[in-house]
Each structure stands twice: as structure tokens, then as C-alpha cells.
Amino acid sequence: MLQIIISSRVMETRDHSKNRANMKNCMSRGFLFILLFFISYVNSHGQYELYDRSYDKGNKLLYENYNYEEAINIFNETLKLQAPNGVNLGWLGMGNAYFLSKKYNEAISCYNNLLEQAANPIGQCQLGNPTNYNGVKYCLVREGFAAVHNYLSQSYENIGNIEMALNSYNAAISINPSSELFQRRGNIYNSQHKIHEAISDYKQFINHKETSVKNKIEMTNNVIQYLESIEDYSFLYDFLKDIRDKNAEQYNKFAFASYKLEKYEDADRYYNEALRLQPSLAIDAAARKASQEFIAEKKRKEQQEREEAEARRIAKIKSAQVGDKLVYSETWRWSEGFWIFESSGAYTMKVTCFIERIEGERYQLRVGDITSSSRDRSAETIINGVRAKKGDLIWARPLNGNQWIYEESF
């Protein structure tokens, strides 16, 4: 369990007495999204005037007077009136009143009734952009559809129906992925001990544009602390890798996770970055030293391997006789109008040469076929600085240049 995260106030959302005002404001904004797209259907002097007034009166009782019971009575009257397309927002208002009254089963019933009507409107939905979800076109705008599923999710969660709560959160996120929804769904995964799924959602919460800087920092620190506590360095590494603008302490933890995963080059690099940002930072000196020793040993072995490979190459060339083949190979890239030789680049040129004479380290060679790794590219043949073409005789010192390879080992 993410005990640290659970205890954090940024992660806890069920204390209605403390957060009731914030929830009401959030819900009210969600309802306005829905209402704005229905208001065009309601003519103040037409057939929907009573419906419109009734719905407004219920919302006033709910959000200004906090009179839940009377609001429910008014919304009941709203349901008896004709609504645009048969999608009666009285179900929404009544569901919200039940939700704030903590009568979650009744709230669930109301929200589902609204969704049923929205999926089966009377006549064609006149909204400019109705919501499409799982092949069903809902006569609700994106924000309104997501808001209803958000409140529906919380209602299911409060009665302990976690499966249905997740289904509703998934629906809401697929349509309108807000930071709040990622946080709430992450909390459910957390309660189910699905740690990686929870942290994946918390990562979305952290990186979301709606999340405040304070909440980003708090959530990031909570996740890091928890992953450290269970020593899940693989997930900690992946988590920190995606955190933008890491501070010195986060680089310090990133370095230690890299060390535990035997990513020693990363560990050394991140320790250096942590100390660059905060020279006085206390780091794991033993982990840093071990990482540096590993890197030094790796470089030593790589150098030894290069020297051994070079010794084998020279021995092969020394064993060559007149008439044998040597291959000259270079890799080129295009830069500012010229082909430039590099260890890696656009293509590789290979020239087959035949040994005509051997005088110590000097070899007289006849230039043979020239090939390229790219059918579309070739370069002027220059062998050890000498311009040549097929059939030319040249003198070269293959023992002194690692571009030369004995044909049998090529």
C-alpha cells in the first residue's frame, strides 16, 4: 500500500465536511458545461420556460441555500416537465443533491437515468459536438459526460463497488482526461494494491497542465518515498526518468536507483548532476565510488580488447604473402559539401587490393574492386591519402592503419 500517499491530503478526497465547498464549486462548473449546451434549446417565452426555471430554482436551493431536501423536491417537479430532446437535467440536479446528502445509491440511479436519456434522445441531438463513447453518441458535451461519470465513480466508490467506480473513471478519462480524474483513479488502484497502475496515474497527475506546482511536488515526493520504502528501484528509475526539471535530491535518488540497477554510467552522471545543483548535498559515497570504479574497469577492459584486436589484425596482415588480398575500409559522411571520413557515418567504402611486393612494413598493392554499403553513394577512392582508381599500383603501410584488414578475416 502507498501508505504515505494515502495519508497525504492531496491524495484524500472523501472528507466531505472539509472539502464540501470545493466539491460544490467543481460540480457546479461541470453542470454549467451541460447547461450551456441545452440553454439554446430553451426559449424564455416558449415551451421549455417552466423546465428552465424549475431547474435553475433547484440549483439555487442546492448550491446557494444548501437545502438538499427541497432541491430534490424541485428537481422532481423538473422531471415532470418537457426537456429538450427528452434529456432532462432534473436527473443531474437530483443526483447531485443525493450525492451531497451522501445518499449514494440514489445518486447512482439518477446519474444512470441521465446517461440513459442522453444515449437515447428524442429526435436528433442538436448539440454542436455530442460525446461519442464506445460507439454510442450521447447528447452531452465532452465536459458534461466526463463530469457525470466523475460523480458516478465517486458514488460507486463510496458504496464499495470498486469495479463500477473504475469503469466510470475509465469512461471519464477517455473523454476528458483531467488531473483530478487521474488522481482519483490512482487512489482506487492504490487501495487495490495495484501499485504500478496507481503510480502510472499519479505520474499523469504530476505531468498534467492543470496540476498546481505545489501538488506536483507533493505527489512526486510521496511516490518517490514509497518506491524507496519497498525498494522497487526499477519503477523508481522509470518514474524519475519522466520527471521534468528534477532538483538535486531527485537526481541523487535517480543516481542511487541507477546504481542498484547496475546502470553505473547513469549513476555517475546523475550523482555529478546532483552535486552540480547542490555541492553540499549528502550522497551515497560508496555507491558513487563503486560506480566510478566499475566505469574505470570497463574502460580498461575495452582498451585491452581494442589492443588485442589490433594485435590480431597486425598478425594476420604479417602472415599475408604476395598475391593475397587486403581490404581497405573507410566510413564517410556528408558535411558542408564534402564527404568526410569518420568512424561512423552515412556509408562505408571498401577497396580490395592485391599484394604485389612486400618490403618490411611497405606493401606494393594493386587496386581492385571498389564497393560501397550504399548503392546510391560513392566517394573518390583515396587510400592512405593517395588518390587511386582500379588497376593502379600504390605503396601503403597496412600495419600502421586500422582501416586495413586481411581478406580471410574480413
Residue 205 pLDDT class (50, 70, 90 cuts) = very high
Distances from the Cα of 17 to the Cα of 5, 95, 166, angstroms: 21, 18, 24
Confidence at residue 296, expressed as pLDDT on a 0 to 100 scale = 96
Q: Within the chain, which residue ranges are assigned CATH 1.25.40.10?
A: 3-245
Query: Cell numbers of 106, please?
Result: 440514489
Residue 382 pLDDT class (50, 70, 90 cuts) = confident
CA distance 320 to 396: 14
Query: Cell numbers of 304, please?
Result: 585491452
Q: Average pLDDT over the chain, rounded to whole? A: 83
Beta strands in 65-164 (DSSP E): 131-133, 136-138
Residue 348 pLDDT class (50, 70, 90 cuts) = confident
CA distance 370 to 379: 10
pLDDT at 260 over 80: yes
Confidence at residue 59, expressed as pLDDT on a 0 to 100 scale = 92
Confidence at residue 3, expressed as pLDDT on a 0 to 100 scale = 40
User: In the block, which residue shows the cell 501508505?
Assistant: 3
CA distance 245 to 222: 17
Phi and psi at residue 351, to the nearest 5°: -125, 125
Confidence at residue 89, expressed as pLDDT on a 0 to 100 scale = 93
Q: Taking phi first (over 0 means left), then psi (-120 to 50 degrees means alpha), and beta for anything else, what does residue 134 get? A: left
Burial (CB < 10 A; 0-12, 13-18, 19+), residue 9, is exposed
Closest by Cα among 343, 330, 325, 410 to 377: 330
Phi and psi at residue 120, to the nearest 5°: -135, 65
Beta strands in 270-346 (DSSP E): 325-335, 338-342
pLDDT at 401 over 90: no
Among residues of the chain, what percentage have pLDDT more than 90? 57
Burial (CB < 10 A; 0-12, 13-18, 19+), residue 389, is exposed
Across 299-309, average pLDDT: 92
Across 254-281, average pLDDT: 95
Closest by Cα among 149, 216, 214, 138 to 177: 149
Confidence at residue 14, expressed as pLDDT on a 0 to 100 scale = 37
Of the candidate ranges 19-28, 81-90, 206-215, 257-266, the one whose mean pLDDT is the lowest: 19-28
Confidence at residue 259, expressed as pLDDT on a 0 to 100 scale = 95
Across 335-354, average pLDDT: 62
Across 179-184, average pLDDT: 94
CATH number 1.25.40.10 is the correct assignment for the domain at 3-245: yes
pLDDT at 115 over 70: yes
Identify which has the larger pLDDT, 32 or 77. 77
pLDDT at 338 over 50: no
Q: Taking phi first (over 0 means left), then psi (-120 to 50 degrees means alpha), and beta for anything else, what does residue 244 get? A: beta
Confidence at residue 129, expressed as pLDDT on a 0 to 100 scale = 84
Among residues of the chain, what percentage have pLDDT more than 70? 82
Query: Cell numbers of 143, please?
Result: 465536459
Return contacts of 262-266, CB within 8 angstroms, 24+ apart.
263/237, 264/290, 264/291, 264/294, 264/295, 264/298, 265/291, 265/295
Which residues make beta-bridge pairs with 395? 364
Identify which has the larger pLDDT, 389 or 272. 272
pLDDT at 24 over 90: no
Confidence at residue 373, expressed as pLDDT on a 0 to 100 scale = 73
Residue 266 pLDDT class (50, 70, 90 cuts) = very high
pLDDT at 34 over 60: no
Confidence at residue 88, expressed as pLDDT on a 0 to 100 scale = 93
Residue 358 pLDDT class (50, 70, 90 cuts) = very high
41-85 residue pLDDT tens: 444 345 678 888 999 999 999 998 889 999 999 999 999 998 888
126-175 residue pLDDT tens: 777 899 999 999 999 999 999 999 999 999 999 999 999 999 999 999 99
Residue 215 pLDDT class (50, 70, 90 cuts) = very high
